[in-house]
Amino acid sequence: MINKINFIFVTFFGIGKVKFAPGTCASILTTIILFYFFHIIKISNEIILMSLILIFAYSFYGVQIYIEKRDNKDPKEVVIDEVIGQSIPLYLYQISHGGNKGFQESLMYYIYIFLLFRFFDIKKPFPINLIDKKYKNSFGVIFDDIIAGFYTVITLVVFIVIKSKFF
């Protein structure tokens, strides 16, 4: 029973078993869910943060259990790392700008954040590529997406600063 629950968790309710681009599908779904939570049903930032922290904390154990008996230590069906990495810039954007932006502008930023995160997650610039190659465990699976999430934040901050200074 615990293995089934863990499978559902690490594959984000089976999204990881999608044949085409499971990581992208998980990132899209994460973006839609967080937009819905923040802008449609307006769940508090604190509840969302606590949920993300619980997902983050369990993910190290869940991923490790899932990959320990597999040859491939970063299987494509494990997409909870994309959920975590995508959530970082979305959450930080929301708590820093979400209340000040209109629905349409927030929607555009969510799309930008999704695209930036996928770019960094797929291209794996330094040091993401080193983490991905060096650590063949749950830390490596999850942490490269965390760095991609923070690269997205940095890029978005630079974009917002440039936009405010020149436009």
Predicted local confidence at residue 74, as pLDDT? 74
Q: What count of Cα atoms within 13 Å lies in the side-chain half-sphere of residue 41?
A: 8
CB 30 within 8 A of CB 38: no
* Residues 6 or more apart whose Cβ sits within 8 Å of residue 107: 35, 39
User: Pick from 105, 128, 133: which is nearest to 118 by CA?
Assistant: 128
pTM attached to this predicted model: 0.91
pLDDT tens for the chain, 167 residues: list them.
778 999 999 999 999 999 999 999 999 999 999 999 998 999 999 999 999 999 999 999 999 999 888 777 778 899 999 999 999 999 999 998 766 677 888 899 999 999 999 999 999 889 888 887 888 878 888 999 999 999 999 999 998 889 888 87
CB 150 within 8 A of CB 88: yes
Distances (CA, A) of 34 to 29, 31, 37, 67: 9, 5, 5, 27
Q: What is the DSSP letter of 56?
A: H
Q: Where are the domains of the chain?
A: 2-166
Q: One-letter amino acid identity for 153? A: V
**Residue pLDDT, tens place only, 76-88:** 899 999 999 999 9
Average pLDDT, the chain: 91
